[in-house]
Amino acid sequence: MEQLIEQPTGFFSHMDNLDGAIAALQSNDTSVVQCATTASSVPLEDGEGKYTLVGLISHIGKNTGSGHYVAHLKKDKKWIIFNDEKVALSGTPPISHAYLYLFQRTDSVGSPNPSY
């Protein structure tokens, strides 16, 4: 089952002025909130942004002080677990318990923005 995630809008859509956005938040400036709410009405130059989950990092053990981290990557619609020297098919990756998720943008694969 392929999972598609829509690109969020708001705070991270203004990375060109991140320092200014942080400063405005610290000074209780409400214009940042207004900017974040109006950002969704501005059309994005490269489309909506659709992403699919292609990998995740999870932890095996009772706590972060013991155990170790493993990676699950999707290849040819199958999940593969990378656990130290062991590499095998993974029937049920722990998607809801991962620490880090890896996504690939699917709506622009093979068609990069010509202005880049």
Where is 21: in which H helix or E strand? helix 18-26
68 counts as catalytic:
yes
H/E element holding 41?
none
* The one catalytic residue among 14, 59, 68, 72: 68
Beta bridge partners, 73, equal 55, 80
φ, ψ at 74 (rounded to 5°): -95, 125
Catalytic residues: 68
